[in-house]
Amino acid sequence: MVARRGWGRLVAAALAVGCAGPRVAAHVPVDGGGVGAPSTDLPPGAAPAGPAGRSARQVPPGWVGGTAEAEVARGCDAVTEALLDPDAYWALFANTRAVEPRGIGSRGELLVTLEQGYAFASGRYVAHVLEVNPRRVVAWIDPIRNVRDGWAEFDLDPIDAERCHVAMFTAADLGEGVVVRLFRNAIEGAMLMTPELLRDFVEQG
C-alpha cells in the first residue's frame, strides 16, 4: 500500500481497514512540544502564525504528519484558487468517489463532503477549508471513526509574479490501529506529497 496522493491515500487507507477506535471529538494537542493552541478564528490545532512560526511546528506525539514544500511555476493566486476549488479535489486526493460542496461553515470556510476508498470499502467525511488570508489556507476534518483529528496548513510565498513557494504543515491522529503500525511511513509520506500534487495540478491548469 505505497501511497501516491497525499491526504487521499491516508484517509482511504484508514477508512478501508478501520484502524482506530470509536469516534471522538476533535481536540487541541496539549503537549508542550506539540502544536500550540489556535486563535479563535482558526480550526482546532491550527497555528495562528504564518511562515514565521512554521519552522517551530511539531507533530504531536503519536500522530503522523510533518512539513513539505514545493515551488509552483504559477502565481500564488492560482495556487489559492486551486485550494479553494472543490472541483480540484478529484486531482488532489486519491481514490475519490464523490465530491459534494455543502456550502459555508460558521467561520466562513468551505464545507465539502468527500467520499474516498475502494469498491470493497469506502467512507465519507466533511472537510472544512478556510482562506485565512490570500496567502494562507487551512483545512481540517470532522472527526470520524478512523481519523480522530486532522488538519493541514498551506502558506504561500510569492517568489515573483509567476512563481509561488508552497509550504505545508499537516498532522493527523489515526489512533494506534494496525494500519498505523504497519504503514506509518507510507501514510506519512503520502501526506507530505500534497504540495507536489498541488504543483502538478496548478501547472497543468
C-alpha to C-alpha distance for 129 and 109, rounded to whole angstroms: 5
Q: Which cell numbers hold the place of 99?
A: 465530491
Q: Name the residue with cell 505505497.
A: 2
Cβ–Cβ < 8 Å for 157, 51: yes
User: How many beta carbons lie within 10 A of that of residue 179, not counting itself?
Assistant: 22
pTM, to two decimals: 0.74
In a structure prediction context, what are the per-residue pLDDT tens digits for the chain, which is 205 residues long? Answer: 334 444 454 555 444 433 333 333 333 323 333 333 333 355 555 544 444 445 457 888 888 899 999 999 999 999 999 999 999 988 887 677 899 999 999 999 999 998 866 666 566 789 999 999 999 999 998 887 767 788 899 999 999 999 999 999 999 887 777 767 777 887 788 788 889 989 999 999 8
CA dihedral over 149, 143, 126, 186, signed as positive or negative: positive
Element holding 133 (H helix, E strand)? strand 122-133
